Amino acid sequence: MNSLDLIHPEWAVHKNVHAFFTTRHGGVSMGKFSALNLSHAVGDDREHVAQNRQILNGYLPSPPHWVTQVHGNTAVTAEISNETTKADALYTRKQRTVCGIMTADCLPVLFTNRSGDQVAVAHAGWRGLTEGVLQQTVSSFNSIPSDLLVQLGPAISQKHYEVREDLLQRFLDLDNTYQKYFLPSAQGIYFADLYGIARHQLQQLGINSIFGGNNCTFSQKDIFFSHRREQPTGRIGALIWLDDSTK
């Protein structure tokens, strides 16, 4: 079996909760998709993607539930979804059901509660953050927000995320406090802090246990794919599931 370089969250979660983020290492894709591209939708050889997913499955209790991500705010139950389902977050309370999201600069966000009986994952780019994808994901939990733990996965850092003023305005239309997450550069150009925006939204919901946010998909080119850095490119995966078995 190919050896994968996986990033395991450093968060104090219940022993039933398992999660990791993939990197670009360990697959069979070539060129700009090298090597562990998990997406069929970016122009990679479909057989290579199928092999990459098979390699990934060797690290999981069951094949992941993927969805068609549309930069919205819909959160769906993983076990009744598939790759034709249009959504940007998945959640489950079922054992050994793997929730999966793919990214290449957007922010993948993992969720669980302290009792370890539900997990979720969200795809949070700027559209999802303005549409409320994190809020919708939190709403899927029976637990109160202060009982949740959240891990921010690999995303593009503020230093490399250049946006125009109209994007800043979309956030200011929601709340003027978002101004502090946009660093001005040239006239009408800003650098946006996805990690900071996500933390702000999660804290506003009452979540205090927020971890991660240390990577940059754009600058760490040997580890991650980046849509901003090169196109076409592959996608990494953010995976989370419950497993109370002793295996």
Cα gap 8→237, rounded to integer Å: 12
CA of 154: how far to CAs of 17, 33, 34, 104, 111, in Å? 19, 17, 18, 9, 15
Checking if the pLDDT of 218 tops 50, the result is yes
pLDDT of residue 2: 72
**Token digits of residue 125:** 């780019």
pLDDT of residue 247: 47
The distance between the two most distant Cα atoms of the chain, rounded to a whole number of Å, is: 58
Cα gap 224→215, rounded to integer Å: 9
**SS3 for 40-84, per residue?**
CCCCCCHHHHHHHHHHHHCCCCCCCECCECCCCCCEEEHHHCCCC
Q: What is the CATH number of domain 17-157+215-241?
A: 3.60.140.10
Task: Give me the percent of the chain exceeding a pLDDT of 70.
Answer: 99
pTM, whole model, 2 decimals? 0.97
User: For residue 157, what pLDDT band results from cuts at 50, 70 and 90?
Assistant: very high
User: For residue 245, what pLDDT band results from cuts at 50, 70 and 90?
Assistant: confident
User: For residue 1, what pLDDT band results from cuts at 50, 70 and 90?
Assistant: low
Say which DSSP state 239 is in. E
> Structural domain boundaries of the chain?
17-157+215-241
Cα gap 121→150, rounded to integer Å: 9
Checking if the pLDDT of 36 tops 70, the result is yes
Residue 117 parent element (H or E): none
Average confidence (pLDDT) over 77-95: 97
- Per-residue pLDDT of 137-155, as tens digits, reads 999 999 999 999 999 999 9
- Chain centroid offset of residue 63 CA: 17
CA atoms within 13 A on the CB side of 208: 3
User: For residue 241, what pLDDT band results from cuts at 50, 70 and 90?
Assistant: very high
The CA-CA-CA angle for residues 97, 71, 174, to 5°, reads 120
Checking if the pLDDT of 121 tops 90, the result is yes
